[in-house]
Amino acid sequence: MKKKILFICGSLNQTTMMHKISMHMQDYDCYFTPYYSDGFLGWLAKKGILDFTILGGNFKKQTEEYLKKNELKVDYKGLSNDYDLVYTCADLIIPKNIRNKKIILVQEGMTDPENFAFYLVKYFNFPRWTASTSAMGMSNLYDIFCVASEGYKKLFIRKGAKPEKIIVTGIPNFDNAKQYLNNDFPYKNYVLVATSDMRETFKYENRKKFIKECVKIANGRQLIFKLHPNEKYERAVREINKYAPGSIVFQNGNTNHMIANCDVLITRYSSVVYIGLALGKEVYSSFDINELKELMPIQNNGTSAERIARIGIHLLESRDYSLEDIHERYELKAV
């Protein structure tokens, strides 16, 4: 019988990453599930209280639609099979039914700033999910952690991840920015604003101030706003029309293609900033740009998914594997 692999999805970005990895594992029985939790968080998610997170709401809906459209096999919460390997893009929650499995954690993208909640997690053992993605990698409940770059490897080690478990592989969706230059997006030479869902996830944002700063940066050039998929659309459009009249607003569409055609990219805390940097755009972010350049995902012509899949195959087929051997075989070195 074929060995079984469970891919735990989440946001659409996480889901497409998981799908890309699975494409290189055709000899195995691959199943997918939206992100899930057991215990108290699972109960809250079932009640719809956590619909602003990847445990429900638009994130879960988009994942389910994507899995159906691509005819991928779904095993919700991984309850129908005994899995030999699990891939996930988040370790803020490690459900009990996968804790005795081989687990490969894949970095999704940018992590949140280290706020007060992060230090509560690090020093007082608060639940990791209270600090959101700033606590990524800190569980150490995985076998391998595949990360975007040497810069991120250093960052996760500083946070508390075990160095021997971290492999620099590059990450799907951020490892081949030049591919997005070939697109049919009709606009060019504009200032693109990729907004965030900070308010929807109960973080403070002065959106009026942010929009006015965007208008100042544009200095008369066409402004295009690409809204975060988790944002309240009507409120966001109303604010943009009030403080940046004449702007074009998109709720949907390929953000990477929009970045490829822009002259300037403005973000807050979005991973898409890396696409802009890789394509040499003028970039504004709430993060320090020099730090972002240090963290930049490796551009390896889109081979990260295959490399991550080969690590999984190694874990599946090697009765006794060593982390040293995996580092030697699969880790990318900065050029």
- Determine, yes or no, domain membership for 302: yes
pLDDT interval class at 334 (50, 70, 90): low
Is 41 found in the same domain as 30?
yes
Mean pLDDT of 273-294: 96
Q: What is the pLDDT of residues 132-145, one digit of tens each?
A: 999 999 999 999 99
pLDDT digit string (tens) for 75-98?
999 999 999 999 999 999 999 999
Same domain, 96 and 221: no
List, in sequence order, every beta strand (DSSP E) within the chain.
4-8, 29-33, 85-88, 102-106, 144-147, 166-168, 191-194, 223-226, 248-250, 264-267, 282-284
* Same domain, yes or no: 147 and 202: no
Residue 335 belongs to some domain of the structure: no
300, pLDDT greater than 70: yes
| Any domain includes 196 | yes
Domain co-membership, 182 together with 161: no
Q: Are residues 171 and 210 in the same domain?
A: no
| DSSP category for residue 222 | P
Q: Are residues 53 and 67 in the same domain?
A: yes
Q: Is residue 273 part of a domain?
A: yes
The pTM (predicted TM-score) of the whole model is 0.93
Number of domains in the chain: 2
Domain identity same for 183 and 222: yes
- Is there a domain that residue 162 lies in? yes
Average pLDDT estimate for 149-164: 97
CATH value at residue 272: 3.40.50.2000
Does residue 121 sit within a domain? yes
Residues 12 and 159 in one domain: yes
**Residue pLDDT, tens place only, 173-230:** 999 999 999 999 999 999 999 999 999 988 889 999 999 999 999 999 999 999 998 8
One domain for residues 15 and 135? yes
Q: Say yes or no: 142 and 278 in one domain.
A: no
Cβ neighbours of residue 313 closer than 8 Å, sequence gap 6 or more: 25
What pLDDT sits at residue 201? Answer: 85
pLDDT digits (tens, 9 = 90+) for 319-330: 888 999 999 999
pLDDT, averaged across the chain: 96
Looking at residue 97, which CATH number applies to its domain? 3.40.50
In which domain, by residue range, is 223 found?
177-295
> Is the residue at 24 inside a domain?
yes
| CB-count burial class (<10 Å; 0-12, 13-18, 19+) for 291 | exposed
From the centroid of its chain, how far is CA 165?
19
- Domain membership of residue 66 (yes or no) is yes
Question: Hey, what are 14's tokens?
Answer: 């996480």
Per-residue pLDDT at 21 exceeds 80: yes
Considering the domain architecture, whether residues 157 and 40 belong to the same structural domain is answered as yes
Using the predicted structure, report yes or no on whether residue 335 has a pLDDT greater than 60: no
pLDDT higher than threshold 90 for residue 55: yes
Question: Looking at the structure, do residues 181 and 201 belong to the same domain, yes or no?
Answer: yes
pLDDT score of 276: 98
